[in-house]
Amino acid sequence: MEPLRHSPSPCSSSRPSSPSTPPCEMPGPVGVEAVLEQLKIKAMKMGFEFNIMVVGQSGLGKSTMLNTLFKSKVWKSNLPGLKVPIPQTLQLHSVTHVIEEKGVKLKLTVIDTPGFGDQINNDKCWDPILGYINEQYERYLQEEILITRQRHIPDTRVHCCVYFVPPTGHCLRPLDIEFLQRLCQTVNVVPVIARADSLTMEERETFRRRIQQNLRTHCIEVYPQKCLDEDINDKILNSKLRERIPFAVVGADQQHLVNGRCVLGRKTKWGVIEVENMAHCEFPLLRDLLIRSHLQDLKDITHNVHYENYRIIRLNESHLLPRGPGWVNLAPASPGQLTSHQPFKICREAHKDSEKEF
């Protein structure tokens, strides 16, 4: 008896898939595997969206890190000039790029937060950030509850927030702890040790252990969250990651010649720090986490956990039961609830629309 022939697994295809390739040349008995190929083609046609926010004091290498991550100048670092004072309130800047690799398009939005933690009095400096994140959730929610919805709701929700911890070598500062406590409940936070080239290997390990201890003491759950591990494989993979978090990273956007190879790195009088060398820094781990292995997971958790939490809170607040076929009238979010200073225009428009219907 011949063993059943298995169709060539679509996932292992290194060929660039184009819509003209037939889904599966040799389907198994039913052909369910063909669905995977169709999904893949569809996803590639649609492209992916990813929104990443970087938070940290100025000078910690956030812009350089972004450029290194995506290997392109997605962010021009904005050095405040002498005449331009550091902004008194935190302002968020977002820039969108579309980058493409092997036929896969990624619409990348980068949100920068200049002025975070730079003032003398940094009390409540996390409010504008929280406000922005909640505003994106609100925007999505408003789109979702419309009667005639768009086919593909533009997703501006923050999928990942990379928090840059300054390499003091001691432990987390009160500002770090306050910020992480608040943000880990709203968004996926990945803390990294910035500018890690100022710490020797032992100092790095000690610092990392202390940070992990601090996080445990304050019950801060950074990504990947332990409670969201679904199966045993996830648990194993994520446990390995959790041991190394926060990653000690170094960013560089210049290339240098080392032993005949061209590497990205920083050149100093005593050596060249290679960014992609695991012995020097843990940038490859961060890149793998954010892009190669966990990008979709970040988006899923944002959608299924954080966004749903937000939605539940908002629905409970509006005290209204759904009437008609799943239609919900949400009261406009009050400014205090979002802790944002921006006037809330979007929500009021949706409200007006629903009034017009009546």
Partner 1 sequence: MSKQQPAQFINPETPGYVGFANLPNQVHRKSVKKGFEFTLMVVGESGLGKSTLINSLFLTDLYPERVIPGAAASNTREPLILQKIERTVQIEASTVEIEERGVKLRLTVVDTPGYGDAINCRDCFKTIISYIDEQFERYLHDESGLNRRHIVDNRVHCCFYFISPFGHGLKPLDVAFMKAIHNKVNIVPVIAKADTLTLKERERLKKRILDEIEEHNIKIYHLPDAESDEDEDFKEQTRLLKASIPFSVVGSNQLIEAKGKKVRGRLYPWGVVEVENPEHNDFLKLRTMLITHMQDLQEVTQDLHYENFRSERLKRGGRKVENEDMNKDQILLEKEAELRRMQEMIARMQAQMQMQMQGGDSDGGALGHHV
Cβ atoms of residues 61 and 194 within 8 Å: yes
Stretch that binds partner 1, among 33-41, 97-105, 163-171, 292-300 (CB under 8 A): 163-171
Q: Using alpha carbons, select from 186, 209, 207 the residue that is nearest to residue 198.
A: 207
Task: Say if residues 191 and 180 touch (Cβ distance below 8 Å).
Answer: yes
Answer for which of 19, 29, 174, 260 binds partner 1 (CB under 8 A) is: 174
Task: Classify the C-alpha dihedral 223-225-231-235 as positive or negative.
Answer: positive
Binding flags for partner 1, 89-128, as an x/- string (CB under 8 A): -----------------------------xxxxxx-----
CB of residue 181 vs partner 1: minimum separation in angstroms? 10
195 binds partner 1 (CB under 8 A): yes
Q: How far is the CB of 130 from partner 1 (least distance, A)?
A: 15
Mark 273-292 with x for binding to partner 1 (rule: CB under 8 A) and - for no binding: xx----xx------------
Sign of the Cα pseudo-torsion (39, 41, 46, 49, in order): positive
Closer CB to partner 1, 35 or 86, in the complex: 86
Q: Which stretch binds partner 1 (CB under 8 A): 152-160, 192-200, 229-237, 310-318?
A: 192-200
How many Å apart are CA 44 and CA 148, to the nearest integer? 26
Binding test (CB under 8 A) with partner 1, winner from 18, 259, 268, 316: 268
CB of 243 to partner 1, least distance (A): 17
Taking CB under 8 A as the rule, which mask of x and - marks residues 8-37 in contact with partner 1? ------------------------------
Please state the closest distance from residue 317 (CB atom) to partner 1, in A: 28
Residue range at the interface with partner 1 (CB under 8 A); choices 20-28, 130-138, 170-178, 290-298 = 170-178
The residue within the footprint of partner 1, chosen from 32, 86, 257, 331 (CB under 8 A), is 86
CA–CA–CA angle 178, 204, 118 (5° rounding):
40
* Minimum distance of partner 1 from residue 1's CB (angstroms): 58
How many other CB atoms are there within 10 angstroms of residue 147's CB atom?
A: 11
* Phi, psi for 299 (deg, rounded to 5): -65, -40
Is 168 a binder of partner 1 (CB under 8 A)? yes
Closest CA to 209 of 249, 163, 165, 171: 171
CB of 276 to partner 1, least distance (A): 13
What region does 143 belong to: left with phi over 0, alpha with psi -120 to 50, or beta? alpha
Q: Is 94 helix (H, G, I), strand (E, B) or coil?
A: strand
Helix or strand run (H / E) with residue 35: helix 34-46
Q: How far is the CB of 271 from partner 1 (least distance, A)?
A: 3
Overall residue count recorded for the chain in this entry: 358
Helix, strand, or coil here: 134? helix
User: With contacts defined by CB under 8 A, how many residues of the chain interact with partner 1?
Assistant: 49
| DSSP helix/strand/coil, 78 | coil
Identity of the residue, 172 or 333, whose beta carbon is nearer to partner 1 in the bound complex: 172
Alpha carbons within 13 angstroms on the beta-carbon side of residue 13 total: 19
The residues of the shown chain that bind partner 1, judged by CB under 8 A, are: 57-61, 79-80, 82, 86, 118-123, 166-175, 177-178, 194-195, 197-198, 200-201, 210, 213-214, 217-218, 266-274, 279-280
